[in-house]
């Protein structure tokens, strides 16, 4: 055991030395979203339906699989670190220039870079209480100070966010439209007011992960660019490519260019780049997937109502279902559904914690959810 010999070889015990930064030492090792695989390993439950991670069972497109297979065979070579072809395709898709687009390992990866670029330890960041945990994880990871305003009627509260932002002048203001975990949305005019009234010192982080599934009336035009606005979209939701890992941000080129100072240049794989290009080109597949998701969303809402629960209106690929009582009751519903083999999730903090969050699926998966939800509610009385 060379390791043991070396360790015993005489100098101060290394455990006494201070390794890693004070910030790093203060952080908890954590996973913002525990995966269904981990739940299966821990509980022994074998999930029969995976309706908890807001993925799309309807994707990816066969054209994506073809492009990915072709790229896989050439994956002895690094992907293009400038992501040229994908940026050109995205720019065309958005009606912008390639310099207005940056691509990363999912929106999550881009959020990590953005917090890195925009904040110093102690800087203020503003979001809604109960909004996207992975954004908060990166804020904590960079030692910035997270401030929150409450949701109002299960929607992000633009007035309250702006009021707090005017006082706080945060470095970042996070806003998701449509929203996760509620599925709610604001109309474009309201979002444009948020853009307009966000303090000039604050970067508005407009998370549009679910934009493909939202009413057109809710989306400001892609031409809405400002120095302090970055908009984030992904191939993980409507395109059904969550496991491929590709998201992007767009905005004014000077803001977008900042990512080139800290990003992992080869981080978006050759397969991801080729797959995303193919996905953008297969408009028919996307439209069909969206239609299926919207139909499944209606069906899921009906299932909730039939069970005596209240589904929230959704502009996403999931439905937040109000269990009608407190967080403990909703947690019991969640646990019962999970124990019966259907993976779903729920918000953790009040008042959203009375909701469960169920991703759409195929008819057989939704029927299974209906069945186990019914059993669970009967059990809970």
Residues 329-348 that bind a second copy (CB under 8 A): none
Residue 216 interacts with a second copy (CB under 8 A)? no
**Measured from the CB of residue 2, what is the shortest distance to a second copy in angstroms?**
5
Residue placing its CB nearer to a second copy in the complex, 104 or 311: 104
Residue nearer to a second copy on the CB measure, 82 or 326: 82
x-marked contacts with a second copy along 157-196 as a string, rule CB under 8 A: --------------x--------------------x--xx
Q: How far is the CB of 263 from a second copy (least distance, A)?
A: 9
**Which residues in 82-101 contact a second copy (CB under 8 A)?**
82, 84
Q: Which of 48, 75, 288, 302 binds a second copy (CB under 8 A)?
A: 75
Q: CB of 94: closest distance to a second copy in angstroms?
A: 12
CB closer to a second copy, 270 vs 354? 270
Q: Which stretch binds a second copy (CB under 8 A): 34-42, 158-166, 178-186, 373-381?
A: 34-42
**Residues 40-69, interacting with a second copy (CB under 8 A):** 41, 50, 53, 55-60, 65, 68-69
3-state secondary structure the chain: CHHHHHHCCCCCCHHHCCCCCHHHHHCCCCCCCCCHHHHHHHHCCCCCEECCCCCCCCCCCHHHHHHHHHHHHCCCCCCCCCCHHHHHHHHHHHCCCHHHEEEECHHHHHHHHHHHHHCCCCCEEEEECCCCHHHHHHHHHCCCEEEEECCECCECCHHHHHHHHHHHCCCEEEEECCCCCCCCCCCHHHHHHHHHHCCCCCEEEEECCCHHHCCHHHCCCCCCCCCCEEEEEECCCCCCCHHHCCEEEEECHHHHHHHHHCCCCCCCCHHHHHHHHHHHHCHHHHHHHHHHHHHHHHHHHHHHHHCCCEECCCCCCEEEEECCCCHHHHHHHHHHHHHCCEECECCCCCCHHHEEEEECCCHHHHHHHHHHHHHHHHHHC
Q: Which of residues 99-128 bind a second copy (CB under 8 A)?
A: 105-106, 108-109, 112, 116-120, 123
134 lies in the binding site for a second copy (CB under 8 A): yes
Q: Please, what is the minimum distance in Å from the beta carbon of residue 138 to a second copy?
A: 8
Q: Name residues contacting a second copy, limited to 306-325 (CB under 8 A).
A: none
Verify binding: residue 284, a second copy, rule CB under 8 A: no
Interaction of residue 361 with a second copy, rule CB under 8 A: no
Is 72 a residue that touches a second copy (CB under 8 A)? yes
Whole-number minimum distance, CB 381 to a second copy, in Å? 34
Q: Is 255 in the site for a second copy (CB under 8 A)?
A: yes
Exposure of 77 in the CB half-sphere (CA atoms within 13 A): 8
Residues 4-33 that bind a second copy (CB under 8 A): 6-7, 9, 11-24, 27-33
Number of Cβ atoms within 10 Å of the Cβ of 62: 11
Closest CA to 91 of 276, 287, 288: 276
CB 166 to a second copy: min, Å: 11
| 80 near a second copy, rule: CB under 8 A | yes
Q: What values do phi and psi take at 87, rounded to 5?
A: -65, -40
Q: State the minimum distance, in angstroms, from the CB of residue 184 to a second copy.
A: 23
Query: Interface residues for a second copy in 220-249 (CB under 8 A)?
Result: 220-221, 223-228, 236, 240-245
Burial bucket for residue 364 (CB in 10 Å: 0-12, 13-18, 19+): exposed
Tell me if 328 contacts a second copy by CB under 8 A: no
Q: Which of 46, 217, 261, 328 binds a second copy (CB under 8 A)?
A: 261
Q: Are 182 and 150 in contact (CB under 8 A)?
A: no
Which of 186, 354 has the CB closer to a second copy?
Answer: 186
Nearer to a second copy, 127 or 228 (CB): 228
Is the CB of 44 or the CB of 243 nearer to a second copy?
243
Tell me how many residues contact a second copy (CB under 8 A): 110
> What is the rounded distance in angstroms from the CA atom of residue 168 to the CA atom of residue 162?
10
Pairwise CA distance, residues 107 & 60, whole Å: 18
């Amino acid at each position: 055991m060379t390791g043991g010999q070396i360790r015993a070889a005489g100098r101060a015990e290394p455990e006494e030395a201070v390794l890693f930064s004070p910030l790093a030492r203060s952080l908890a090792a954590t996973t913002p979203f525990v995966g269904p695989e981990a739940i299966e390993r821990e509980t022994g439950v074998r999930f029969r339906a995976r309706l908890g991670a807001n993925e799309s069972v309807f994707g990816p497109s066969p054209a994506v699989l073809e492009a990915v297979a072709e790229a896989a065979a050439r994956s002895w070579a690094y992907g293009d670190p400038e992501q040229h072809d994908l940026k050109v395709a995205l720019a065309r898709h958005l009606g912008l220039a390639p310099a207005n687009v940056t691509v990363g390992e999912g929106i999550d990866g881009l959020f990590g870079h953005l917090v890195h670029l925009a904040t110093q330890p102690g800087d203020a960041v503003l979001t809604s209480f109960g909004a996207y945990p992975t954004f908060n994880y990166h804020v904590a990871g960079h030692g910035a100070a997270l401030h929150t305003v409450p949701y109002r009627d299960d929607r992000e509260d633009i007035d309250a966010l702006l009021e707090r932002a005017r006082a706080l002048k945060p470095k970042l203001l996070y806003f998701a439209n449509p929203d996760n975990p509620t599925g709610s949305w604001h109309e474009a005019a309201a979002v444009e007011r948020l853009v307009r009234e966000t303090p000039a010192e604050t970067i508005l982080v407009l998370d549009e992960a679910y934009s493909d599934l939202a009413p057109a009336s809710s989306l400001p035009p892609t031409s809405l660019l400002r120095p302090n606005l970055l908009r984030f979209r992904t191939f993980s939701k409507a395109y059904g490519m969550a496991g491929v890992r590709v998201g992007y941000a767009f905005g004014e080129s000077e803001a977008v260019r900042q990512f080139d100072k800290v990003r992992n240049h080869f981080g978006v794989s050759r397969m991801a780049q080729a797959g995303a290009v193919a996905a953008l080109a297969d408009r028919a597949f996307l439209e069909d997937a969206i239609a299926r998701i919207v139909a499944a969303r209606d069906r899921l809402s009906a299932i909730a109502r039939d069970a005596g629960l209240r589904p929230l209106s959704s502009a996403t690929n999931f439905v937040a279902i109000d269990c009608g009582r407190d967080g403990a009751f909703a947690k019991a519903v969640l646990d019962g559904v999970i124990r019966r083999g259907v993976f779903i999730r729920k918000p953790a903090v009040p008042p959203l914690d009375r909701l469960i969050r169920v991703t759409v699926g195929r008819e057989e998966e939704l029927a299974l959810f209906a069945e186990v939800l019914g059993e669970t509610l009967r059990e809970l009385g």
